[in-house]
Amino acid sequence: MRRSAARATIDLTAYDLYLRAVGAFFPTTKERILASLALLEQAIAIDRHYGPALSWAAICHLRLVVDGFVEAPETSRRKAIDLARLALRAEENHAGILANAAFVLAYFGEDVGAMIGLIDRALALNPSFARGWYLSGLIRVWAGQHELAIEHVETSLRLSPHSLEHMGLPLFTMGTAYFFRRQFDDAASKLILSVQDNPSHSPSYRFLAACYAHMGRLDEARAIVTRLGAITPQVVPTDLPWRNPEDCELLLSGLRLATGETARCLVSRANLQSPARFA
């Protein structure tokens, strides 16, 4: 009875909509993200304090921004932040909410140390939470803790090697950690597998293009940029969550090499926007 009373929602319709939304999200495409978000909005309309639904809606808006699927990214950015904060207020001791909210808020510039604190709390609540270990690794890449990031992602894969939501994403995170450590051969091998596992994940293409460029493999880098263009018009990310200025410049300089003169102005504008906005 105590477990039942402590559930995130007592409305079975809202719970069913939430389960359908999470199932619709993976593997991610624009259509799947929008379908998932529509279901989550229905669940939230039924129970506006439903923390898991709020946190996953925040994830949906983040992915719309990351993948360049919205014409007004600032609107989705604000919605993602607001939903993540509402989720945290709705439930303070839910590992999934803590992890999702830390991911969203860290990406959009919240103090990364505080967000690491949230993800550590999620893992203390549930040490077997595979998604939590993956998101911990991702946030630690943003914080510049590359070696620890790889360790946490490896823990995630050991706990749940075949999870659908892991399609290519842990490999991507490990690839970015190796990329920032200038281990470009290791980075490329992980990023290639990430693209194969999740062909719609645009950040994997960005990093693989930058990686090839730094390796001097410019023809392959430009071919990857062409493949990226078939997914999204956004070659350069609108947000750069990596707090280390050298990490940001390593990615941007690789994209400058990979895209050539035509996209150089876009990369320059992105460089002006960060990492100062996260200082």
Distances (CA, A) of 129 to 133, 137, 140, 243, 252: 7, 13, 17, 26, 33
| CATH value at residue 240 | 1.25.40.10
- Asked whether residue 128 is assigned to any structural domain, the reply reads no
What is the distance of C-alpha 190 from the center of its chain? 16
What is the distance of C-alpha 114 from the center of its chain? 18
Residues 5-27 pLDDT 10s = 455 677 999 999 999 999 898 87
Residues 44-55 pLDDT 10s = 999 999 999 999
Say which amino acid occupies 231: I
- Asked whether residue 190 is assigned to any structural domain, the reply reads yes
Q: Kindly give the residue spans of alpha helices, DSSP state H, lying in the chain.
A: 2-5, 12-25, 30-46, 51-66, 73-90, 95-107, 112-125, 130-142, 146-159, 169-180, 184-197, 202-214, 218-229, 245-259, 264-273
Give the DSSP letter of residue 187.
Answer: H
Say which amino acid occupies 23: G
What average pLDDT does the structure give for the chain?
Answer: 90
Q: What integer pLDDT is reported at residue 34 of this predicted model?
A: 96
More confident call, 123 vs 237: 123
- Asked whether residue 118 is assigned to any structural domain, the reply reads no
- Distance, CA of 149 to CA of 246 (rounded, Å): 17
- Distance, CA of 130 to CA of 229 (rounded, Å): 32
- Distance, CA of 5 to CA of 258 (rounded, Å): 55
Start-to-end CA span in the chain (Å): 47
Q: Which residues are within 8 A (CB) of 105 and not within 5 positions of it... i.e. 6 or more apart? A: 81, 84, 85, 115
Mean pLDDT, rounded, for 161-173: 78
- Asked whether residue 252 is assigned to any structural domain, the reply reads yes
Mean pLDDT, rounded, for 174-179: 98
Mean pLDDT, rounded, for 145-173: 88
What is the extent of the structural domain holding 252? 167-279
Q: What integer pLDDT is reported at residue 7 of this predicted model?
A: 56
Spatial CA neighbour of 77 closest among 90, 64, 92: 64
- Give the pLDDT band of residue 78 (cuts 50, 70, 90): very high
- Give the pLDDT band of residue 220 (cuts 50, 70, 90): very high
Q: What integer pLDDT is reported at residue 261 of this predicted model?
A: 52
Mean pLDDT, rounded, for 126-138: 96
Q: What integer pLDDT is reported at residue 221 of this predicted model?
A: 98
Mean pLDDT, rounded, for 203-228: 97
Q: What integer pLDDT is reported at residue 219 of this predicted model?
A: 97
- Distance, CA of 140 to CA of 256 (rounded, Å): 25
- Asked whether residue 272 is assigned to any structural domain, the reply reads yes
Q: Contact at 8 Å (CB) between 251 and 206?
A: yes
Q: Contact at 8 Å (CB) between 98 and 119?
A: yes
Q: Which residues are within 8 A (CB) of 160 and not within 5 positions of it... i.e. 6 or more apart? A: 130, 131, 166
- Asked whether residue 11 is assigned to any structural domain, the reply reads no
- Asked whether residue 207 is assigned to any structural domain, the reply reads yes
- Asked whether residue 4 is assigned to any structural domain, the reply reads no
Q: Is the pLDDT of residue 165 over 80?
A: no
Crossing angle for the helix pair 95-107 and 51-66, to the nearest 10 degrees: 30
Q: To the nearest whole percent, how much of the chain has pLDDT over 70?
A: 89
Q: Is the pLDDT of residue 95 over 50?
A: yes
Mean pLDDT, rounded, for 208-221: 98
- Give the pLDDT band of residue 278 (cuts 50, 70, 90): very low
Q: Is the pLDDT of residue 40 over 80?
A: yes
Domain count, the chain: 1
